[in-house]
């Protein structure tokens, strides 16, 4: 029987199965009764129904005129099911469409009453529930995690004074200074409208055209071209409130504040070449990493740091605190660490929670206020507005994930009524205030506890104008670039070169080079050389030329990388005849360091150790490229190493690990594979047997950056 015929016959047989057979099969597979004496009521309990409660007898077949006849329009059970399905999707977020969320809590270390009256920052014994959503910005909902992009870091605190949302990013500055330009920025970076290309990428003409015409973007460009835009994990990423906010204490004293999240695991990034490969082999890399860490009880933690700035210090800063393209160096205002955020529970349902959560920068609590930052001021309108179309009306606060569940008053203790998707049933005849008919039982305003905006003086003419104090677009870009070490600077140069190489308009490339020349001569010459462009870039005469600021070491990721393996992943490639004792020793050391170890073998069924015992693999070689791991080990016999040396997938596994500067452990017999992969001995290539100490120590120190210029000069 040929295979086409047998498949066809099989499907006919399957279609012929009666619904009873299906129902029986399902009962055995999923709902096997615990006791033979299953009662009629118990069966009723598990009965599948329509949305209106009608029990469904057959969930396999439409209603037809004869078993081989057409479907009847009257099949309301089918129509209801299909209609619900047809409407399952809601509009994706215009930005930050792709995200991943988690529940957890926030706890302050001590009362912050001296600077703010916010209730969730007062009592160290109190845990405040939170939901956090991490996201990429430009890509659509189905795009890949490792795009070169900013990451969203949005935290909803369910406080007893209502929800407080800190809707931040993993980069402390922004592309533009005024929200008026936000739609233009997003249109420029999103896929080009005529052909919808490219997805989740800034490397195209419209983004760089816009960038080259907006000098205020230059500081942010340094960050997005740096490895900050390629996080290793959401667990290893900083977060920032970006804008300057105001804190107000109970006495009414106000100070400026910048919010920072610091990951306990330190900041870590991947290389651009790794990012592009991860996107292909494991596009959910970040989402899976977060989910799996929480599932195994390895709860991501971040500390909340505040840069508190009094008015006198603010007046001395040489830039305007209201300008969101500027940061306050930590060397000038150090962080005050005030509490921790722990993510300890995965969502039960992605759509209901991660997709339907609505963050609003207007969700404030007494003790925290806005400033006049013109980017923030525009956000105050945009988020509430976008939820109306995304979540279908003004009652999105009633969705369980958006309800202010920390607040004893609950939601809806006011006289707002009706609207699409109203799920409450307000009682009584009174829906207004003041009134004399509710007997004083209805809600009333409360000046003692309610939110009162700090009485800030407002003066000035009505103007559409940018403040001159926002005029310096290059000094902090230069500060960032010059605060990076040589490796980090090389990565920035390579990123600009890659992105601008994808730009077809030469005029745009020339304009961008002119900006880079203002930022730093090495940056400019590196990118110009990478592009092979000799055009002069001397033409730009900025209104405020860059001036030198003292470097800020805290801006370098590598400068402050912790020497730990916690939360990192070691990939061990095992092939037949490998040394079982070495694997056991590696497992033990990895566990001691709180690292995760994954065994990879040519086949997922596993490999035989030297004693012929089969050890199961966690992943097969073809689905587990070395880019998924932070450090790698190869354990094999001489014979299996010879075989792998002729297998391109295995050779790539090793040569990628080497050229991505990873620490590489190997059993002596694995040498032929290493040679085939072009591995040259250095301090990061380490023999592993029962003794694993040197390998672990080297892996804790991080990548072997000294390798990079020779093996991967273009990134
Ligand atoms: Fe925004 C979503 C962060 C500027 C308009 N933004 C959104 C999310 C984050 C940020 C993390 C995703 C929230 C979630 O997970 O649901 N946005 C920022 C930061 C900004 C910023 C840190 C600058 C400092 N955003 C910004 C401006 C505007 C918007 C200037 C418009 C005036 N942002 C939106 C939006 C989104 C959004 C269109 C899309 C989905 C949503 O709001 O709920 O309204």
Q: Is the pLDDT of residue 613 over 90?
A: yes
Q: Answer yes or no: are the C-beta atoms of 185 and 167 closer than 8 Å.
A: no
* Residue 384 alpha carbon to ligand 1 centre in Å: 11
Q: Sorting pLDDT into bands at 50, 70 and 90, what band is 39?
A: very low
Q: What is the pLDDT of residue 538?
A: 66
- 1-15, 212-226, 671-685: lowest mean pLDDT where? 1-15
Task: Quote ipTM for the complex.
Answer: 0.99
| Pairwise CA distance, residues 345 & 398, whole Å | 22
Q: Which residue is closest in CA terms to ligand 1's atom 11? A: 152
The one-character DSSP state at 231 is B
Q: Is the pLDDT of residue 17 over 70?
A: no
Q: Is the pLDDT of residue 40 over 60?
A: no
Q: Which residue is closest in CA terms to ligand 1's atom 41? A: 383
Q: What is the pLDDT of residue 715?
A: 84
**pTM for this model (two decimals):** 0.93
Q: Please check if 232 is assigned to a binding site.
A: no
The one-character DSSP state at 367 is T
Q: Which residue is closest in CA terms to ligand 1's atom 35? A: 383
Report the interhelical angle of 486-501 vs 272-281 (nearest 10°): 60
To the query of whether residue 446 is one of the catalytic residues in this protein, the response is no
Q: Sorting pLDDT into bands at 50, 70 and 90, what band is 652?
A: very high
* Residue 385 alpha carbon to ligand 1 centre in Å: 12
Q: What is the pLDDT of residue 535?
A: 79
Quote the percentage of the chain above a pLDDT of 70. Answer: 94
Catalytic one of 163, 169, 363, 402: 169
Q: What is the pLDDT of residue 534?
A: 85
Q: What is the pLDDT of residue 4?
A: 38
Q: Mean pLDDT, to the nearest integer, of 601-630?
A: 97
Catalytic one of 51, 52, 59, 96: 96
Q: Which residue is closest in CA terms to ligand 1's atom 9? A: 152
Residue position matching structure tokens 């360091």? 593
Contacting residues for 449 by C-beta, under 8 A, at least 6 apart: 161, 366
Q: Is the pLDDT of residue 522 over 80?
A: yes
Q: Is the pLDDT of residue 49 over 70?
A: yes
Q: What is the pLDDT of residue 19?
A: 44
Task: Quote the mean pLDDT of the chain.
Answer: 93
Q: Is the pLDDT of residue 452 over 50?
A: yes
Cα separation values, 137 from 103, 134, 186, 224, 377, Å: 21, 10, 9, 12, 20
To the query of whether residue 494 is one of the catalytic residues in this protein, the response is no
Q: Please check if 93 is assigned to a binding site.
A: yes
Q: What is the pLDDT of residue 43?
A: 58
| Pairwise CA distance, residues 587 & 615, whole Å | 13
> Taking CB atoms and a 6 Å cutoff, what residues make up the pocket around ligand 1?
93-96, 99, 133, 135, 152, 154, 167-169, 174, 179, 182, 242-243, 324, 357-359, 375, 378-379, 382-383, 386
- 13-27, 418-432, 516-530, 674-688: lowest mean pLDDT where? 13-27
The one-character DSSP state at 70 is P
* Residue 383 alpha carbon to ligand 1 centre in Å: 7
| Pairwise CA distance, residues 600 & 615, whole Å | 10
Q: Mean pLDDT, to the nearest integer, of 452-474?
A: 94
Q: Which domains does the chain have, with CATH numbers?
A: 97-376+395-402 (2.40.180.10), 563-711 (3.40.50.880)
Q: Mean pLDDT, to the nearest integer, of 160-174?
A: 98
């Amino acid at each position: 029987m040929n295979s086409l015929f047998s498949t066809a016959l099989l499907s006919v047989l399957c279609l012929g199965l009666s619904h009873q057979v299906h129902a029986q099969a399902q009962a055995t597979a999923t709902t096997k009764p615990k006791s033979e004496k299953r009662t009629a009521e118990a069966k009723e309990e598990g009965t599948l129904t329509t949305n209106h409660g009608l029990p469904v007898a057959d969930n396999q077949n439409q209603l037809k005129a004869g078993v081989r006849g057409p479907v009847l329009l009257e099949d309301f059970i089918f129509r209801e099911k299909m209609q619900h399905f047809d409407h399952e999707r809601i509009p994706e977020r215009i930005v930050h469409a792709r995200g991943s969320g988690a529940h957890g809590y926030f706890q302050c270390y001590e009362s912050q009453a001296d600077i703010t009256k916010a209730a969730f920052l007062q009592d160290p014994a109190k845990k405040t529930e939170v939901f956090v959503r991490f996201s990429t910005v430009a890509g659509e909902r189905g795009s890949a995690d490792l795009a070169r992009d900013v990451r969203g870091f949005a935290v909803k605190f369910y406080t007893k004074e209502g929800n407080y949302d800190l809707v931040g990013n993993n980069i402390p500055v922004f592309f533009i200074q005024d929200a008026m330009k936000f739609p233009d920025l997003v249109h420029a970076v999103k896929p080009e409208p005529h052909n919808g290309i490219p997805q989740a990428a800034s490397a195209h003409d419209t983004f760089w055209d816009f960038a080259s015409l907006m000098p205020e973007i230059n500081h942010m460009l340094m960050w997005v071209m740096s490895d900050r835009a390629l996080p290793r994990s959401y667990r290893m990423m900083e977060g920032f409130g970006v804008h300057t906010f105001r804190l107000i204490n109970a006495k009414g004293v106000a100070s400026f504040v910048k919010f920072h999240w610091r990951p306990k695991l330190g900041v870590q990034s991947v290389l651009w070449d790794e990012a592009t490969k991860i996107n292909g082999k494991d596009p959910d890399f970040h989402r899976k990493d977060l989910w799996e860490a929480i599932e195994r009880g390895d709860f991501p933690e971040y500390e909340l740091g505040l840069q508190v700035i009094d008015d006198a210090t603010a007046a001395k800063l040489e830039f305007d605190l209201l300008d969101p393209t500027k940061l306050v160096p930590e060397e000038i205002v150090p962080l005050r660490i005030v509490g921790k955020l722990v993510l300890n529970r995965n969502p039960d349902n992605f759509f209901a929670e991660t997709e339907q959560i609505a963050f609003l920068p207007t969700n404030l609590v007494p003790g925290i206020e806005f400033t006049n930052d013109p980017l923030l001021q525009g956000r105050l309108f945009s988020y509430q507005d976008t939820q109306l179309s995304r979540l279908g009306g003004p009652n999105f606060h009633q969705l369980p994930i958006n309800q202010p569940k920390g607040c004893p008053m609950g939601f809806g203790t006011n006289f707002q009524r009706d609207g699409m998707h109203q799920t409450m049933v307000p009682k009584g005849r009174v829906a207004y205030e003041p009134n004399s008919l509710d007997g004083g039982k209805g809600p009333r305003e409360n000046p003692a506890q309610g939110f009162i905006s700090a009485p800030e003086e407002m003066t000035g003419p009505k103007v559409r104008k940018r403040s001159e104090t926002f005029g310096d677009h290059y000094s902090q870009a230069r500060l960032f670039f010059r605060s990076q070490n040589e490796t980090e600077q090389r990565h920035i140069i390579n990123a600009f070169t890659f992105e601008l190489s994808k730009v077809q308009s030469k005029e745009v490339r020339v304009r961008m080079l002119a900006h880079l020349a203002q930022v730093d001569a090495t940056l400019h010459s590196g990118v110009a050389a990478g592009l092979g462009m000799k055009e002069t870039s001397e033409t730009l005469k900025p209104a405020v030329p860059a001036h030198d600021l003292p470097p800020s070491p805290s801006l370098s990721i590598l400068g402050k990388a912790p020497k730990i393996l916690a939360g990192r992943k070691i990939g061990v490639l095992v092939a037949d005849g490998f040394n079982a004792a070495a694997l056991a020793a590696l497992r033990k050391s990895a566990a001691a360091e709180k690292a995760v170890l994954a065994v990879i073998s040519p086949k997922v069924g596993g490999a035989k150790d030297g004693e012929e015992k089969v050890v199961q693999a966690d992943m097969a070689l073809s689905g587990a490229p070395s880019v998924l791991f932070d450090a790698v080990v190869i354990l094999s016999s001489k014979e299996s190493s010879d075989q792998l040396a002729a297998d391109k997938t295995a050779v790539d596994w090793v040569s990628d690990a080497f050229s991505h500067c990873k620490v590489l452990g190997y059993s002596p017999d694995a040498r032929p594979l290493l040679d085939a992969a072009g591995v040259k001995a250095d301090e990061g290539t380490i023999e592993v047997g029962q003794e694993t100490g040197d390998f672990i120590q080297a892996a804790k120190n991080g990548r072997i950056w000294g390798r990079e210029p020779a093996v991967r000069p273009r990134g």
